[in-house]
Amino acid sequence: MKKAFLLFSLSALLSLTAAAQNLQLAGYIGHQTPSSLDVYYGRLRTSYGKNYGGTVTFGRGPSAAGKSWLEVQYNYKEAGLNYYDYYTNSLYTAGNLAIHNVLVGPMKEADKDRIRPYGGLMLGVTVYQPDFAVEDWRFTVSAVAGVKISIIDRIGLRLQAQLLAPMYFTDAAVAWSPGYGSSVGISSTAILSAGFNAGVYFNILQDK
């Protein structure tokens, strides 16, 4: 299933690139807030950390109210993972965690000259890769808002705030206990975190 998802994503990306009248690439670096998850016997919590990522944005020309885009985003964060035990009131280091987000969704950009606010909603997957357990894939919803500042015709700055909400349900998840490792069981439904990023965009194709 994971291989099929990756192959489908790659083929869709190539098809969109071939059909696009506007094509914009961006890279960014930023800061992502901690996220926490209630599990049986305690709570797992990630640390603060830097996040890195990039976007590929496709468009078919400006609309009456501004440009409409379809954006594909990849985001990466590596953080420490701590476990707080409710019964002993103790804090343990669970290990390290790599977090990958792959998202896609529509974006709306204001029809301004040099400073262009934008925003949108995205859907996709979050992949958790802990160093003490198997990786875990989760459906994710995200809200994005930011501003693009044009420097020259095809290059500019991109400032962005983003809310990420990977979805967890009560039937399955990974829990952790000191001395016992991972197990199954969860009581939360979503893990919320926010990212604040700055980067540079490049207009590869640009419909005048």
What tens digit of pLDDT does each residue of 94-113 get? Answer: 788 899 999 999 998 887 77
Residue 156 corresponds to which tokens in the numbers above?
């500019």
- Residue 2 belongs to what H/E stretch? helix 2-19
The ranges assigned to domains in the chain are 2-205
Residue 135 CA, chain-centre distance (Å), reads 17
Pairwise CA distance, residues 85 & 40, whole Å: 9
Pairwise CA distance, residues 70 & 156, whole Å: 19
Give, in words, the CATH class of 2-205.
Answer: mainly beta
Pairwise CA distance, residues 177 & 200, whole Å: 42
Closest C-alpha to 147, from 195, 123, 114: 114
| pTM for this entry | 0.76
Inter-residue contact 61 to 22 (CB < 8 Å): yes
Buried-exposed string 165-180: b where 16+ CB fall within 10 A, e elsewhere: bbebeeeebbbbbeee
Radius of gyration of the chain (CA): 19
Q: Specify the higher pLDDT residue, 183 or 154.
A: 154
Which pLDDT score is estimated for 162? 96
Pairwise CA distance, residues 155 & 146, whole Å: 16
What tens digit of pLDDT does each residue of 41-78 get? Answer: 778 888 888 999 999 988 765 544 457 788 999 999 99
Pairwise CA distance, residues 176 & 64, whole Å: 52
